[in-house]
Structure 1
Amino acid sequence: MKKILFIAHTASMGGGAEKVLGVLIKELSQRYLVDLIERVEDSVLPFKIPNGNVRHLPSLSFTDRKCQELGNNVFCNRIWRILLSVWIFVLPRSVHRHFIKGSYDYEVSFNYLYCSSLVGNSPNRNSKKVMWIHGAIVDLLLPINAINSIRGKLKHWAERMMQKDAFSKSDVIVAISQRTHDSIADFCPEVKSKIVDVYNGYDLLNIDRFARTFEYPNSRLFRLVSLGRVTYAKNVILQVEAVECLRKKGIDVELLIIGDGDQIDYIQSVSKHNPHIKLLGFKPNPYPYVLASDALIITSLSEGFPTIAVEAMALGKPVISTPVAGTNELIDAQTGVLVDWSVESVAAGIEKMMTTKWDSRLIASSVSKYSKEAWAENVSNLLESL
């Protein structure tokens, strides 16, 4: 069997990209021997080895949370993460040799920047280099003069140079949405011919099965569910503000926020006076909450291809979303509502969602083409064509 190496930023933080990676590795392991190494290992949802054809190599570094669980020094761990980033930037081939032994037929970076640099500079000359870009790289398109600090300018310059170098050494660049494709082409026009669009696949049958493992109580109110890491990029505060805007108009809406992150305390503080906003924390199985809700809400500043949108739609739920990557492929008048990043727009979108009759069977059928089986076949065909 041929061998594949995946270098991922992480496979253990419980996010959408990690779910997609887990499904992909499980499917490909039926045809290939697969190794996975994480640049940063966490403990929110540890990667599970699906079978004997998959190995989880020792990670390059750990989050503070994982470090504490291991009983290691957190301060030293933070210093190591900084040094590792510098080491990858300056001598990526040396890092690859130190942490990764053996040769591979294919090497895949399941993210950009540092993961891409490690794959692009692999000492395995005969391996095919695949850059799997899981989101629009709009941050790299930002002009350097738009950044205020000298430190920020240097970091931005270094990241742009690192990614351009990695792209130049790739055999193929996988984009998971049209916006991802366009951002790569805009950033590095000379690699346009290498870009291939491969939309993510999902375990749709398991999503339905997991959604029915327990029944979450219904609500007398219109219920929105929000899933994902509670971070600045996910912009959960906008959901809270929109719900508050409606409340002032006499419209009560229930909002379930499922997830954890560095903004959770802030969200808790600004929403504690509203009993209809419920922070439920991270849930390994969020699907029963989705099934018990009327709609999913996404207010992210950016996404690659919103995994949770596909999962919610597979359960027949419409989606309210900001226009992040992937939404033009997923959301139309029959499957959801697109809004902008203002409180008024999101509040209006919620009202429209509440007053529209949605066909759950039509919504579910609209994402049936994203099956994991068809996806794995497409990916395998792509690899074999290199």
Structure 2
Amino acid sequence: MKKKILIRIGSLRHGGAEKVLVTFLKNLPKDKYEIDLLLNLHSGKYLKEVPSWVNILYLNKGEMITTNRIQDLPVKAFRVLYQKILKMFPQILYQFILKGKKYDIEFAAIHGMRDEILNSPLKFSKKLIWIHNDLKKTEFHNYTDKEFRKFFGFDKIMVISEKIKQDFETIAITEEEKDKIVRIYNPLDTKEILSKSKLELKNYNFDKRAKTFVSVGTVFPQKGFDRLLKAHKRLLYEGLNHKILILGDGYDFENLKNLKKELGVAGTVTLLGFTDNPYPYFKKADFYILSSRYEGFPTVLFEAITLKKKIIATDVSGVREMLEEGKLGLIVDNSENGIYEGMKKALQNDPIFDTYTESLINYNMPFDLENSVKIITEIIDTI
């Protein structure tokens, strides 16, 4: 008999957790599980990649509303109120939207779905959660020790880095709670990355006279693109010619466009928006730069490692683990100045980047798509 699984996530927009979830679903055996994927908002670039055998349900339909335009406010308010009511009275959700279905496993695909799963009226289902962020960072200031303790209501807590695992182990009281925590590398299809990187570049021409730094991510403050642009401006002022290419979209996109204009860097910074295949840009660029203020385990770095790129990354959760304490790329201070100093080294042809290239050539990936999927399915099968 197939195991019945409910998976919850906000939407399938172009974020790391969303991409990882869809990669996982695409590599599951379809004859083994019966999966309902419940979205708060039926939107996102990855919707089309969800396997046809996965049943997609949703609370609201339409694109995410990121503005406060008067004409958008009624829809925005309705969505918030509707989701709040269903969160307060989960019996309504389970009876009318989920049609009274009984699930063997309820799975929160992101930490933000913690309470929705823990408050499920299905008391006998096994509960699973996937943590993609470093919740100890100040940006998640509401995650006090008391809030952390709530996660131990799950039967298994899957985390994506050693740092996050240690944070949870520190809060754990018993050995049984520690046993709930398991670190799993995000499923990443390296063959697909290498194959897609060979496809044709669209709507961007690389300048052979200037080194290009590429960065990929959802455009919101976490990713630190504002700091990247400010560091870029400082380097240009010092006469260090180069280009910045940012791939991604998000609610902060207009603010970033305005900052680009304010700094007067329209000729050297390109905001290309979202692309479903960033890998040819990775491949062609001189450097990959991660300017994030915080992360859980930035999968994008493994993509850059797969393509043997010279990497500069801020010292956020997961980076030291991924770059082997600086053996595979330059780790800089988590600040605008750190980004500036790292880029300056790159532009001044610091020989340390040659050592990174040599290390990457001989590097064996510590993660494997098949292995990651196998570990998660073993948890699902034995939980």
TM-score range, shorter chain: 0.7 to 0.9
Deviation string 1:12-45 (CA, Å, 9 cap, x unpaired) is 2111111100111111244423221112332444
Counterpart for residue 245 of structure 2: 256
Of the three residues 331, 335, 342, the one matched with 1:342 is: 335
| Structure 2 runs not aligned, ≥5 long | none
1:212 aligns with 2:212: no
Q: Is the 8 A contact 1:313 1:367 kept in 2?
A: no
Matched residue SS, 1:13: coil
Q: Is the 8 A contact 1:316 1:362 kept in 2?
A: no
- Structure-2 change in CA distance of 1:358 and 1:77 (3 Å): farther
Matched residue SS, 2:7: strand
- Structure-2 change in CA distance of 1:25 and 1:119 (3 Å): same
Counterpart for residue 22 of structure 2: 22
Larger mean Cα displacement after TM superposition, 171-180 or 30-39 = 30-39
For residues 63-74 of structure 1, the aligned pairs below 5 Å read 64-65=63-64, 74=72
For residues 167-316 of structure 1, the aligned pairs below 5 Å read 167-185=151-169, 189=173, 191-215=177-201, 217-219=205-207, 220-272=209-261, 273-274=264-265, 275-316=267-308
What RMSD, in angstroms, separates the aligned Cα atoms of the two structures?
2.9
Q: C-alpha separation between the residues in 2 aligned to 1:269 and 1:283?
A: 21
Q: Is the 8 A contact 1:130 1:171 kept in 2?
A: yes
Q: C-alpha separation between the residues in 1 aligned to 2:326 and 2:138?
A: 32
Matched residue SS, 1:77: helix
1:99 aligns with 2:97: yes
Q: C-alpha separation between the residues in 2 aligned to 1:334 and 1:181?
A: 22
Q: Is the 8 A contact 2:40 2:83 kept in 1?
A: no
Counterpart for residue 345 of structure 2: 352
Q: C-alpha separation between the residues in 2 aligned to 1:138 and 1:366?
A: 31
Counterpart for residue 372 of structure 1: 369
Q: Is the 8 A contact 1:211 1:287 kept in 2?
A: yes
Counterpart for residue 81 of structure 2: 83
Count residues with an aligned counterpart.
364
Counterpart for residue 153 of structure 1: none
Q: Is the 8 A contact 1:322 1:341 kept in 2?
A: yes
Q: C-alpha separation between the residues in 2 aligned to 1:248 and 1:334?
A: 31
Of the three residues 310, 326, 337, the one matched with 1:333 is: 326
Q: Is the 8 A contact 2:314 2:338 kept in 1?
A: no
Q: C-alpha separation between the residues in 2 aligned to 1:140 and 1:245?
A: 27
Q: Is the 8 A contact 1:42 1:62 kept in 2?
A: yes
Q: Is the 8 A contact 1:27 1:376 kept in 2?
A: yes
Q: Which TM-score applies when normalising by structure 2? A: 0.85
Letter in 2 for 1:133: I
- Structure-2 change in CA distance of 1:162 and 1:373 (3 Å): same
Deviation string 1:136-155 (CA, Å, 9 cap, x unpaired) is 22368966xxxxxxxxxxxx
Q: CA deviation at 1:64?
A: 4.8
Q: Is the 8 A contact 1:314 1:365 kept in 2?
A: no
Q: Which TM-score applies when normalising by structure 1? A: 0.84
Q: C-alpha separation between the residues in 1 aligned to 2:35 and 2:235?
A: 49
Q: C-alpha separation between the residues in 2 aligned to 1:41 and 1:21?
A: 15
Q: CA deviation at 1:194?
A: 1.8
Q: C-alpha separation between the residues in 2 aligned to 1:88 and 1:205?
A: 41
Matched residue SS, 1:370: coil
Counterpart for residue 56 of structure 2: 56
1:136 aligns with 2:134: yes
Q: C-alpha separation between the residues in 2 aligned to 1:88 and 1:199?
A: 33
Q: Is the 8 A contact 2:106 2:117 kept in 1?
A: yes
- Structure-2 change in CA distance of 1:197 and 1:208 (3 Å): same
Matched residue SS, 1:244: helix
